[in-house]
A and B are shown apart, each in its own frame.
Chain A
């Protein structure tokens, strides 16, 4: 398992890197997928351009328009939640990615660009309606997540483009993330990400996304429609609407078209998707309820 020869450059400025991409080089950030493929000789880039020295790519910036994430932000960075339901969703997803050494090196944007149908970030990007910025030597453009993922390991990114930023709009509401995998280090078989925009205790908009349920991340729109107007959190009186969540799960299973694997048939993954969507919605409901709780610190509570 040794790769064939390749050229290697490590620029410190983005324009140089983009020029190299334009000449056919393959970008290297965390390398947690690419390098493995190279060792198996399944991918044979003639040149790698190492992005790890380009400081401007290494940022996670919170602002009014949400969270902006640069190409060098590692999975691990999201384990400590930034505030709010957005941060909690990112954190819950992050701790399911592979295992700690992989999370230390692998990057969120690398995972988005790699587009493994079972990866967490693509589903999360769909659920949060992320905007993805692609830059080449000649131009920059932004693509909504919905249009970015086109098939297994296939995205809107052209070979001469680099995914330089992902922007996650702020989320007013609640979120949930549940994953099913066989060991604490393996790929997800299926994962469900749920983002609910909640106002006045009712769901205004729901976004349910699945990983591992098709050849790309998918939104389950039939289930989403179903949830609009539903009461969640404390307004719902503490009890969650089990029927609505179960129905959403069933709709998710129907929408799924999973790729079978040796220990996970399509039928099994459909069943798992139904259960995970239901549990992710329960988690989101609890997330809303936790936010609705009055503060219980010592100063006020006595």
Chain B
């Protein structure tokens, strides 16, 4: 396995000032780092457009109700305010498009500004444009909104049966989907052991450092230039063009530097539609720079599920059948609520359980819509399965590692078609488990735990999670575009349809192409994130960029070299053309890439790669100590063993793993968006939505195994979401182990001190 750069924990300071996109100078690991860490990054808010107006949105303070009146007349008095628009003032009134084919959106309109009803607290009701954000907010203060309140719905299980309907068409269950065949009740009745669990996946706020940002600039010819912090510019282009009725070439979407996305910046949101339309109609540049208060409450949330699991096994712990029922809270509108389907698909986990059935209900509630957030449906599945597996171990008095061993899908069984509809490509689950146990010093900690228990000492617990992830996306999103061009100067441009929002593409892709072409790295630049420069793209999410985007570039480079050989054969009259160290050779003659391009025209290779999902996997193990009196959880040791297939850049993947681990820790112990019975979110800022800080991150040991992806030439699977999947079950299982609280229904995330204290008392 090749090592691309020094280890992440060994970098000295840099010495030389350099330009953007030159190779990383001595001591810096990535090309992006100099500008991003010295304030020279250029984000949407840094794009200075003379005469640009700022938008502020008036947002519903009521979670659910009939919108009676929006009075914007007060704005006319406010100095610097250009205007205010409600649904009644926008003609046409744009609608948020449905993502993917879905019967759930039939008869259910998501207007960009609330028209008949408000369906979540924070929903945009009016837009105010001002000379700057201060005056726009002054204007927003003057807008009066009248709503006739209706009952709020905040729990998906309750909402499923409620008489209060969010839409006039149909009930609140927007869709019900089955994965696998229903399991006969007989199987559970006859099984020697059945364990059951009910789990809550709390809502999470994705909390990228940069909230959403959107800038629309009319081009003076009836078209629009858009800058947006986004993960999928080609999709945004397509959906905006359709909504605004613009021709393909009348719209250009660019993504500048982006301060993180984590899944929540890949859709076409109502605010984007309003800003774009106002810019076009007023023929003035308009931008919306979301602030943190909006981002926490009115942007999309992640997770949000009620789960019921039943697991049947025989006396030796062999799993016979599993049933997973999910009530997924998709929020006030169904248009982008597809993530919970991933939970159903993933419900088999790492085990060869012969019968697995998952039923997922997508339920509307009067809360902010839920959408993708790092892990997007797979953390939910891993949690449901892995907590229940530990309950089974506890019930049988079996070591949880041993129970897993008895049930893993064996290496010779791949490719393995799961009962819930996945075809796992490759895996060695037991190997990952063994490595995790040895890295943790599992036996040592079990002995320490026994000693403490014997003397009534510290509450120590050990928890495991064996997970199988899915990377690359599926169902129409498995394509990615790559192209490589050589100019007469010898400069190489790699074009990718992927879209970095912090995934190091600017460093990794040029390095990869340079290696394949055997030229110095500084010769290659990356072109992405611009729909005018890159003709096709799907984007960056689902850990797909190396697996699919990298493969597309690899194949595009192959195509370029093939084209080069063809031209050289023609020029030299010889069939024996070789390539090495940046040059073609035929007999006595040689052409560098640049020389060939100078002589025969730009040299190019292109690929639109259609891939299949890949299945990274791993095992996480945690040791915790719980303060029984106060409920504090201290993570004494955390081990992450991840198998991403072939790792192309270990430093980058290390960073991805650590970042996802921090977010997994956040879900397990700290984060959550609670709603009260009126549908009001009970957080307003980062003082109440607690994120783990650097001081909360425990000592983490990362190891890896490598089971190559048989379906790509790189051998790479996807990386980046594993920590979100592996950490929560490992931590919660560890706390359950520490307190003897496996069957405590109140042990739910986030494991706040109060939760742990109550679980400790309940288990006594």
Q: Verify A40–B684 contact, CB threshold 8 A.
A: yes
Interface string of A174-194 (1 = CB under 8 A from B): 000000101111110100000
User: Closest CB-CB distance, A102 to chain B, in whole Å?
Assistant: 11
The total number of A-B Cβ pairs within 8 Å is 62
A99 on the B face (CB < 8 A): yes
Chain B residues with CB under 8 A of A182: 670, 690, 752-753
Q: Verify B293–A40 contact, CB threshold 8 A.
A: yes
Q: How far is the CA of A262 from the CA of B683 in the complex (A)?
A: 9
B158 on the A face (CB < 8 A): no
Query: Are A275 and B629 also in contact (CB < 8 A) when A2-B133, A2-B134, A180-B753 are?
Result: yes
B630 on the A face (CB < 8 A): yes
A265 on the B face (CB < 8 A): yes
B161 on the A face (CB < 8 A): no
Q: How far is the CA of A1 from the CA of B685 in the complex (A)?
A: 11
A151 on the B face (CB < 8 A): no
User: Closest CB-CB distance, B423 to chain A, in whole Å?
Assistant: 42
A226 on the B face (CB < 8 A): no
Nearest CB in chain B to that of A2: its residue: B134
Q: How far is the CA of A68 from the CA of B133 in the complex (A)?
A: 43
Query: Are A268 and B293 also in contact (CB < 8 A) when A2-B133, A184-B696, A187-B687 are?
Result: no
Q: How large is the interface on A (under 10, 10 to 19, 20 to 34, 35 or more residues)?
A: 20 to 34
Nearest CB in chain B to that of A187: its residue: B687
A41 on the B face (CB < 8 A): yes
Q: How far is the CA of A184 from the CA of B134 in the complex (A)?
A: 32
Query: Are A1 and B754 also in contact (CB < 8 A) when A180-B630, A275-B630 are?
Result: no
Q: How far is the CA of A50 from the CA of B127 in the complex (A)?
A: 34
Chain A residues with CB under 8 A of B533: none
Chain B residues with CB under 8 A of A141: none
Of the listed residues A2, A189, A272, A275, the one surrounded by the most CB atoms of chain B closer than 10 A to its CB is: A2
Chain B residues with CB under 8 A of A40: 293, 684-685
A4 on the B face (CB < 8 A): yes
Q: How far is the CA of A271 from the CA of B632 in the complex (A)?
A: 13
Q: How far is the CA of A184 from the CA of B693 in the complex (A)?
A: 7
Q: Verify B138–A4 contact, CB threshold 8 A.
A: yes
Q: Verify A262–B753 contact, CB threshold 8 A.
A: no
Query: Are A183 and B137 also in contact (CB < 8 A) when A1-B291, A263-B750, A275-B629 are?
Result: no
Interface residues of A in 198-236 (CB under 8 A from B): none
Nearest CB in chain B to that of A271: its residue: B757
Q: How far is the CA of A4 from the CA of B691 in the complex (A)?
A: 29
Query: Are A1 and B293 also in contact (CB < 8 A) when A41-B141, A268-B757 are?
Result: yes
Q: Verify B752–A263 contact, CB threshold 8 A.
A: yes
Q: How far is the CA of A4 from the CA of B130 in the complex (A)?
A: 13
B692 on the A face (CB < 8 A): yes
Identify which of A185, A189, A275 contacts B693 (C-beta below 8 A): A185
Chain A residues with CB under 8 A of B685: 36, 40
Of the listed residues B137, B674, B754, the one surrounded by the most CB atoms of chain A closer than 10 A to its CB is: B754
B26 on the A face (CB < 8 A): no
A53 on the B face (CB < 8 A): no
User: Closest CB-CB distance, A188 to chain B, in whole Å?
Assistant: 12
Nearest CB in chain B to that of A185: its residue: B693
Q: Verify A264–B137 contact, CB threshold 8 A.
A: no
Q: How far is the CA of A41 from the CA of B137 in the complex (A)?
A: 10
Q: How far is the CA of A27 from the CA of B692 in the complex (A)?
A: 33
Q: Verify B674–A183 contact, CB threshold 8 A.
A: no
B682 on the A face (CB < 8 A): yes
Q: Verify B292–A265 contact, CB threshold 8 A.
A: no
Interface residues of A in 247-282 (CB under 8 A from B): 262-265, 268, 271-272, 275
Q: How far is the CA of A262 from the CA of B670 in the complex (A)?
A: 12
User: Closest CB-CB distance, A61 to chain B, in whole Å?
Assistant: 33
Of the listed residues A4, A40, A180, A185, the one surrounded by the most CB atoms of chain B closer than 10 A to its CB is: A185
Q: What's the dominant secondary structure at chain B's contact region? A: loop
Of the listed residues B137, B293, B684, the one surrounded by the most CB atoms of chain A closer than 10 A to its CB is: B137
Chain B residues with CB under 8 A of A264: 752, 754
Q: How many residues of B contact A (CB 8 A)?
A: 31
Q: How far is the CA of A99 from the CA of B141 in the complex (A)?
A: 33
Q: How far is the CA of A187 from the CA of B753 in the complex (A)?
A: 14
Q: Verify B757–A1 contact, CB threshold 8 A.
A: no
Identify which of A41, A99, A183 contacts B690 (C-beta below 8 A): A183
Interface residues of A in 13-28 (CB under 8 A from B): none
Identify which of A185, A186, A268 contacts B754 (C-beta below 8 A): A268
Query: Are A186 and B690 also in contact (CB < 8 A) when A4-B138, A275-B630 are?
Result: yes
B695 on the A face (CB < 8 A): yes
Chain B residues with CB under 8 A of A2: 133-134, 137
Chain A residues with CB under 8 A of B755: 263
Chain A residues with CB under 8 A of B695: 183-185
Q: How far is the CA of A54 from the CA of B293 in the complex (A)?
A: 34
Q: Verify B682–A183 contact, CB threshold 8 A.
A: no
Query: Are A265 and B696 also in contact (CB < 8 A) when A4-B141, A186-B687, A187-B687 are?
Result: no
Chain B residues with CB under 8 A of A3: 134
Chain A residues with CB under 8 A of B575: none
Chain A residues with CB under 8 A of B682: 262
B448 on the A face (CB < 8 A): no
Chain A residues with CB under 8 A of B696: 183-184
Nearest CB in chain A to that of B132: its residue: A2
Nearest CB in chain B to that of A184: its residue: B695
Q: Verify B141–A1 contact, CB threshold 8 A.
A: no
Interface string of B679-713 (1 = CB under 8 A from A): 00011110110111101100000000000000000
Interface string of B629-646 (1 = CB under 8 A from A): 110100000000000000
Chain A residues with CB under 8 A of B754: 263-265, 268
Q: Verify B133–A183 contact, CB threshold 8 A.
A: no
Chain A residues with CB under 8 A of B138: 4-5
Q: How far is the CA of A283 from the CA of B574 in the complex (A)?
A: 88
Chain A residues with CB under 8 A of B133: 2
Nearest CB in chain A to that of B752: its residue: A263
User: Closest CB-CB distance, A293 to chain B, in whole Å?
Assistant: 28
User: Closest CB-CB distance, B218 to chain A, in whole Å?
Assistant: 26
Nearest CB in chain A to that of B695: its residue: A184
Q: Verify B688–A99 contact, CB threshold 8 A.
A: no
Q: How far is the CA of A270 from the CA of B133 in the complex (A)?
A: 44
Nearest CB in chain A to that of B134: its residue: A2
Interface residues of B in 111-143 (CB under 8 A from A): 133-134, 137-138, 141
User: Closest CB-CB distance, A96 to chain B, in whole Å?
Assistant: 12
Q: Verify A183–B293 contact, CB threshold 8 A.
A: no
Q: Verify B690–A1 contact, CB threshold 8 A.
A: no
Interface residues of B in 534-574 (CB under 8 A from A): none
User: Closest CB-CB distance, B61 to chain A, in whole Å?
Assistant: 13
Query: Are A262 and B757 also in contact (CB < 8 A) when A2-B134, A272-B630 are?
Result: no
Query: Are A183 and B670 also in contact (CB < 8 A) when A1-B292, A263-B754, A271-B757 are?
Result: yes
Identify which of B134, B291, B632, B674 contacts A262 (C-beta below 8 A): B674
Q: How far is the CA of A224 from the CA of B18 in the complex (A)?
A: 66
Q: Verify B692–A183 contact, CB threshold 8 A.
A: yes
Q: Verify B753–A268 contact, CB threshold 8 A.
A: yes
Of the listed residues A187, A189, A271, the one surrounded by the most CB atoms of chain B closer than 10 A to its CB is: A271
Q: How far is the CA of A184 from the CA of B695 in the complex (A)?
A: 6
Chain B residues with CB under 8 A of A5: 138
Q: How far is the CA of A186 from the CA of B686 in the complex (A)?
A: 9
Residues of B within 8 A of A (CB): 133-134, 137-138, 141, 291-293, 629-630, 632, 670, 674, 682-685, 687-688, 690-693, 695-696, 750, 752-755, 757
Contact sample, A vs B, 25 pairs, CB 8 Å cutoff: A3-B134, A4-B134, A4-B141, A5-B138, A40-B685, A180-B630, A180-B753, A182-B753, A183-B690, A183-B696, A184-B693, A184-B696, A185-B695, A262-B674, A262-B683, A262-B688, A263-B750, A263-B752, A263-B755, A265-B754, A268-B753, A268-B757, A272-B753, A275-B629, A275-B630
Residues of A within 8 A of B (CB): 1-5, 36, 40-41, 99, 180, 182-187, 189, 262-265, 268, 271-272, 275
Extra 7 A-B pairs, beta carbons < 8 Å, given A4-B137, A265-B754: A180-B753, A183-B670, A184-B693, A187-B687, A262-B682, A263-B752, A272-B753
Nearest first, the 6 A-B pairs at minimum CB distance are A184-B695, A268-B754, A263-B752, A2-B134, A1-B291, A275-B629
